Copies of this chain bind each other. A is one copy, B any other.
Amino acid sequence: MLGKAKLLKVYLGESERYKNKPLYQYLVLWLKEKGVGGVTVSRGIEGYGQDKVLHTARLLELSSDLPIILEIVDLAEKIDPLIPQICSIVPKGLVFSLDIQVHKYGSKQE
A residues in contact (CB < 8 Å) with B: 5, 7, 9, 11, 24-25, 28-29, 32, 37-52, 54, 67, 69, 71, 73, 83-84, 86-88, 90-107, 109-110
Q: Is the CB of B106 within 8 A of A49?
A: yes
Q: Is the CB of B87 within 8 A of A95?
A: no
Please give the count of copies of this chain that the complex contains. Answer: 3
Q: Is the interface of A mostly helix, strand, loop or mixed?
A: strand
Q: Is the CB of A40 within 8 A of B44?
A: yes
Report the nearest B residue to A28, measured CB to CB: B46
Q: Is the CB of A98 within 8 A of B100?
A: yes
Q: Is the CB of A5 within 8 A of B103?
A: no
In the complex, A11 Cα to B110 Cα: how many Å? Answer: 16
